[in-house]
Amino acid sequence: MSEKRTFWTCLLVLIVALPAAFVVRAWESLRESQWLAAGRAEIVVADGAPQAFAGGQWKLLDMRRLPRTDDARVILAEFEASPTEPAILSQGACRVRLVDGKGRRFEPVTLTEPIVRKMYPEVAERPRCGVLAFADAKDGAVVRMAESFIVPADARDLLLRIEFPGASDETLVFKWTRS
């Protein structure tokens, strides 16, 4: 092989090898990046409809909008789950979030809002979604839960998203179409 030919062959190999080396080195990071990661499968359910999810039968009971300040409201979400496979439910950690029409994600508040305790004391007593709520649950027994969120007064088209990593790879999304 002539010297010239070797030079060009090496140059071409370099052009292929360098990007390949970059991809191999960065593969883990690329796989974890948002734009390449396949989103978690979503099960979208209309309000009031029961849905099998993470070893239970889930249902959104009510989503109430309560006053807080001029620009903020409390959203009180009530939902229930009837464990069909308690062993699966007790494996995971429940994560509940509220998403509005603008895509803003709200975490539930840790302390019960005073307005919830005043207007719906029985709902305020309900457990939050978590392993503890299902600790004593038996097959088919209904576990009623409640979470409250603080949202801007203009938050509309609310979705309640429930994730149960460990028990399910999917995300349960309840659409709330009532006012």
Partner 1 sequence: MSALRTLLICVLAIATLYAMRNSTPGYGDITAPIAIRGAVGERVETRDFAFGAANVHLARQVKVESFGRVKDYSTSGVWLIIEGAAVAKTETMTLTSADWLAGNGLRYELSQRFSTVPGYLPTERLEPGLPRPVLLAFELPEAAVDKGTLLVARSLVMPLAEELSIALGDKKPADIKPSVTIARSASGTPWTLAAR
| Residue numbers at the binding site for partner 1 (CB under 8 A) | 71-72, 102-107, 150-152, 154-155
Of the two residues 7 and 141, which places its CB atom closer to partner 1 in the complex?
7
Of 144 and 161, which has the nearer Cβ to partner 1? Answer: 161
| Minimum distance from residue 6 beta carbon to partner 1 (Å) | 19
Q: Minimum Å distance from CB 107 to partner 1?
A: 4
Q: Which residue, 40 or 102, is less far from partner 1 as judged by CB?
A: 102
| Shortest Å, Cβ 109 to partner 1 | 8
| 129 or 151: CB nearest partner 1 | 151
Pair 101, 120: CB distance under 8 Å: no
Over its C-alpha atoms, the chain yields an Rg (Å, rounded) of 24
With tokens 């789950």, the residue in question is: 81
How near is the Cβ of 138 to partner 1 at its closest, in Å? Answer: 34
Q: Which is nearer to partner 1, 105 or 117 (CB)?
A: 105
Question: CB of 9: closest distance to partner 1 in angstroms?
Answer: 22
